[in-house]
Chain A
Amino acid sequence: MKNNFIIMNSEDNCATSLVEIPKDDEVKLNGGKIIKINQNIPFGHKFALIKISKDDLVKKYGEIIGVATDNIEVGDWIHTHNIKSYYLEMKRDD
């Protein structure tokens, strides 16, 4: 069976697609929760597992990969249009 997406860590708020997922498709999480995909998600790109508000941190690998520059809804495509790098803002001891 093909995996449509992968969640790298249980703390993550995004998943990475392993196929091209078309807009309006539904994906099912392990716990049974169903997410409706809001835009086409290209292979290797990310979508939101929960609602992420502007200025919230985005996590993959259980670590921060950026900060939201806009409100991100469940099932939204996550990329450079709605998140940006955050690590330079992190303090040395964060």
Chain B
Amino acid sequence: MIEEFMGYQRPKGQVGIRNKIAILPSVSCVNNVIQQIANKVENSVALKHPLGCGQFGTDFSYTLRTLVGLATNPNVYGTLIVGLGCEQMSSKTLRGQIKKSKKPVEFFNLQDVEGGSASAIEKGIKYAKKMADEASELKREPFDFSNLVLGLECGGSDSISGITANPAVGVISDKIVELGGTSILPEFTEWVGTEHLLVKRAINEEIAEKIYTPLRYFIEYTKNQGIDFLGIQPTPGNIEGGLSTIEEKSLGTISKSGKAPIQGVLKYSEKPKGKGLWLMIEPGYDIESMTGLAAAGAQIICMTTGRGSPCGNPIAPVIKLCGNPKTCDWMAMNIDIDASKIITEGKSIEDLAEQIWQRLKAVCNGELTMAENLGFEDLAIWRAMGGFASMLK
């Protein structure tokens, strides 16, 4: 049987699972303006962010790559950029880069519109509505999973995540890779203790080195800052929960990536250069991480959680899985898949993986996730300041 999902064809061979109009502020000064535009336009999403000015070097390029990446994610039909007019991150620069995707893009600066914010909102609504009308004519078509990029996230983990939801997501990641698709594992600080295993999965020595060097640099860097990273891992809470060593803890985390070979290491928000499993250098804050995954082109994200999280993403639907029975009960409205049935009903990891697969297909076909239903669209961009980031530019 050929596994397929119903998606939207985009230019340059991309396939989206949502059909959104992105309303993108070049700088945070116009966040409220673009929110009010998005409020009035069907299927639009306000990509509010706190940056766009006063940034330099790597820091600036990370923000630029992230904003362009979000707008060019296949889930986006077209983008309206609203600038202020005096900021570093000019709307014109953004437009130039987003335009390369061959998708519709419009832009203007608020300072160029007579009548202040009210006129700018009115102008923005006009542009965005026109785009939304065009988008609504597009129909879903069947595509195979080689067109899908899956993001692998975990947040609010507990000692149960690593033995329930994470390995089940690993089965799904392997399945996507087997079907010719792409999967991305972020949060490199949580790989510490497993680098000797990750390097073995690298497709060649060069990639192995790209995994090993930043991790060793990170340990050194934190040591120079007076932080004994290895000395504080696992944490007292982890130990109480049953995790005995750092490698046991990290193995639970990286089990989300299954067993597939590692094709390469991506910078934050960088798009994979091919299919298969990729790692992304990103320090492990859920919202920054999921923003980076969506900017890298992930159309969908699986997020495992133990203690629970309400978070979503404005561009990529987030399927949340929880292995903790109490959290599944208390936060039922925020959890898509109850992975605690491994514990409470004797389900196997394979049973759970099958359930995730069915749900993932349904979400690809348009079914809304819990976070989408709630309208939870969280966005944060990793600020690559300081010595550590400078080596990653």
CB atoms of B244 and A44 under 8 A apart:
no
Chain B CB within 8 A of A16 CB: yes
Assembled-state Cα–Cα distance A87/B197 (Å): 10
Assembled-state Cα–Cα distance A81/B194 (Å): 22
Q: Which residue of B lies closest to A88 (CB)?
A: B230
- A88 CB to nearest B CB, Å: 8
Interface string of A29-42 (1 = CB under 8 A from B): 00000000000001
State the majority secondary structure of interface residues on B. Answer: helix
Chain B CB within 8 A of A23 CB: no
Q: Count chain B residues whose beta carbon lies closer than 8 angstroms to a beta carbon of A.
A: 28
Chain B CB within 8 A of A18 CB: yes
Interface string of B248-261 (1 = CB under 8 A from A): 10011001000000
Assembled-state Cα–Cα distance A61/B162 (Å): 10
Given A2-B344, A8-B163, A65-B251, A42 and B242 contact (CB-CB distance below 8 Å): yes
Assembled-state Cα–Cα distance A43/B241 (Å): 7
Q: Which residue of B lies closest to A82 (CB)?
A: B244
Assembled-state Cα–Cα distance A15/B245 (Å): 15
CB atoms of B242 and A87 under 8 A apart:
no
Of A1, A43, A60, A91, which one neighbours B251 at CB under 8 angstroms?
A60
Assembled-state Cα–Cα distance A18/B167 (Å): 15
Given A90-B196, A94-B196, A78 and B244 contact (CB-CB distance below 8 Å): yes
Q: Considering residues A2, A3, A61, A83, which has the most beta carbons from chain B within 10 angstroms of its beta carbon?
A: A61
CB atoms of A45 and B193 under 8 A apart:
no
Q: Which residue of B lies closest to A91 (CB)?
A: B196
Chain B CB within 8 A of A71 CB: no
Chain A CB within 8 A of B106 CB: no
Q: Which residue of B lies closest to A42 (CB)?
A: B242
CB atoms of A85 and B193 under 8 A apart:
yes
CB atoms of A80 and B244 under 8 A apart:
yes
Q: Which residue of A lies closest to B192 (CB)?
A: A87
Chain A CB within 8 A of B160 CB: yes
Question: 14 pairs across A/B with beta carbons < 8 Å?
Answer: A2-B346, A6-B163, A8-B167, A18-B163, A45-B242, A60-B248, A65-B247, A65-B251, A66-B248, A79-B242, A80-B244, A90-B196, A91-B196, A92-B199
| Chain A residues within 8 Å of B, Cβ to Cβ | 1-3, 6, 8, 16-19, 42-46, 60-61, 63-66, 78-80, 83-88, 90-92, 94
The 4 closest A-B pairs by CB, nearest first: A44-B242, A45-B242, A65-B248, A85-B245
